[in-house]
Amino acid sequence: MRQLRFLLILLFGFCLSTLTALAHVSDTSLLRIQILPKALVLDLNVDLSTLQKITPLDSNADGRVDRTELNHAAPGIEQYFRDNLRLFILDGPPELGKMSAPEWQGEATPDAEAQNAHVNFHFERPMPEGQRAFSLSVDIFNTLGNKHSLIVALIQGNNSEQTVLTADLPVLAYDPISAAGPAPQLSSLEMFRLGVEHILSGTDHLLFLLTLLVVVGSWRQMVFIVTAFTFAHSVTLLLAALRVVRLPEAFVESMIAASIVWVAAENLLRGEGGRRWMLTFVFGLIHGFGFAGNLEALDLPRQGFLRSVLLFNGGVEAGQLLVVLPLLPLIFWMRRFSWHMAVQRVISGSALVLALWWVWERLQ
C-alpha cells in the first residue's frame, strides 16, 4: 500500500509539473483577409508553438522566445509562408505582397510562453480596382500536421464570412459574383469543435476544475460546482462575445491564474470544499471572458451570431465533461483510503506553485 501511495503521488506530481508545457496548445490558426478597393490585406495569426514547427525560435535555448529571437527568425518564417500560401489574382503569379514586421497580438508580452502568445503577420497585396475574385492555395499541413485548421475570415466593408481550410480542403476560391456564391460559413460542427478544442487546450481552465474537484466528497457537491461554473462562464462568454462587457486580456488571464491560487490555497488550509459552488460561480465569470478570446478573433458575422456562440459554448461544456466524468470516479475511489489526503495536498500544492508562476508571468 505504501508503494502504491508513493507511485500515485509521483504520478500526480509529474502530471501537474508538465502542465506548463501543455498550456493553451492550439491546433488552429486564423487568417483574416480584408478586401479593399485596391488591395487585399492579409493578417495571419499564429501561436508560437505552431511557429516553432516551422522553424526553431528559441535560439539561446532558455525556454522562452523574446522579440529579438522572433525578428531573427522572421525572414525564414516569411519565406515559408510565401512558399506555402499561394494567393492568385487574375492570371498573375502567386504572391502575398509586402510583409510588415511581425507583431505580438493584443497584450501578449514579448517573452511570453510559446503556448500562450500569438504573433500576427501582416501582408498587403495590390489588386486592380474593381477586381474582387481571388484564390488561395494552402500547403502548410505537411509541416503543421493534418489536424491543423486554418480559419479564414473574409471581410469586405461591414460584411464578414468565415470558412475553414484543412488538409482535406486546402483551397479557397472567392468570387462574389460567381454563381457558386460566397465562401461557406463555419459549420455547426466546426464551431462546436472549436469550443471543445479551446477547453481541452486551456490548461489553466482544466487545472482550475481539477483543483476544485479534488476535494469533492459527493456527486451532489460535484453537480453544484460544475453547474455553477457552466452557468457563470456561459453568461460572461455571451456578454463578451456581444461586446456588452469587455475586460483587458492581461487582467483576465491573470485573474484566471489567481482563481487557481485561491482554490489551491483553500484546499491546503481547509482540506474540504464546503459551499464551493459559490466561489466557483464568481471565478467562473472570469473564466468566461477567457473563453471569449477565441470568438472575438473570429470576427463572426451578425447573421447567426447567437447560434455560433451557443455552439461554441456547447463545445466548451462537452470538453469539460470529457475531463470531469472520467476524473470523478477516480477521486471518489481514492477517498476510500487514508492516503487520499496526501494526493490531495500534492495536487493542490503543485497547482498553487504553478498558478503563482502564471500570475507573475501574466502581469509582466
Phi/psi at 173 (5° precision): -115, 120
112 and 82 share a domain?
Answer: yes
13 belongs to a structural domain: yes
Helix 276-298 vs helix 305-334: crossing angle, to nearest 10: 140
Residue 17 CA to residue 14 CA, distance in Å, equals 5
Q: Contacts for 242-245 with beta carbons within 8 Å, 24 or more apart?
A: 242/305, 242/309
191 belongs to a structural domain: no
Q: Which of 186, 220, 245 is the last residue of a domain?
A: 186
57 belongs to a structural domain: yes
Check residue 93 and give left, alpha or beta (phi > 0: left; psi -120 to 50: alpha): beta
247 and 269 share a domain?
Answer: yes
53 belongs to a structural domain: yes
Reading the chain (364 residues) residue by residue, the pLDDT tens digits are 554 444 444 444 444 444 443 344 457 788 888 888 888 999 998 888 888 889 888 888 777 777 788 888 889 999 999 999 999 887 778 888 899 888 876 444 444 444 456 788 999 999 887 777 888 899 998 888 887 888 888 888 777 777 788 888 888 888 766 544 444 455 667 778 778 877 877 788 888 888 888 887 777 888 888 888 888 888 888 888 777 887 877 788 888 989 999 989 988 887 665 577 888 888 888 888 887 766 665 556 566 677 778 888 888 888 888 888 888 888 888 878 888 788 888 888 888 998 898 888 777 6
Q: Which of 118, 151, 186 is the last residue of a domain?
A: 186
Calculate the alpha carbon distances from 284 to 67, 80, 95, 209, 341 in Å: 33, 40, 45, 10, 26
140 and 65 share a domain?
Answer: yes
117 and 212 share a domain?
Answer: no
Residues 6+ apart with CB under 8 A from 178: 133
192 belongs to a structural domain: no
244 and 137 share a domain?
Answer: no
DSSP labels, 168-192:
S--EEEE-TTSTT-SPPPPPHHHHH
Enumerate the β-bridge partners of residue 100: none
* Range(s) of the domain holding residue 83: 28-186
113 and 51 share a domain?
Answer: yes
Number of domains comprising the chain: 2
245 belongs to a structural domain: yes
353 belongs to a structural domain: yes
Q: Contacts for 170-178 with beta carbons within 8 Å, 24 or more apart?
A: 170/137, 170/138, 170/139, 170/141, 171/135, 171/136, 171/137, 171/138, 172/135, 172/136, 172/138, 173/135, 174/132, 174/133, 174/134, 174/135, 174/136, 175/132, 175/133, 176/132, 176/133, 177/132, 177/133, 178/133
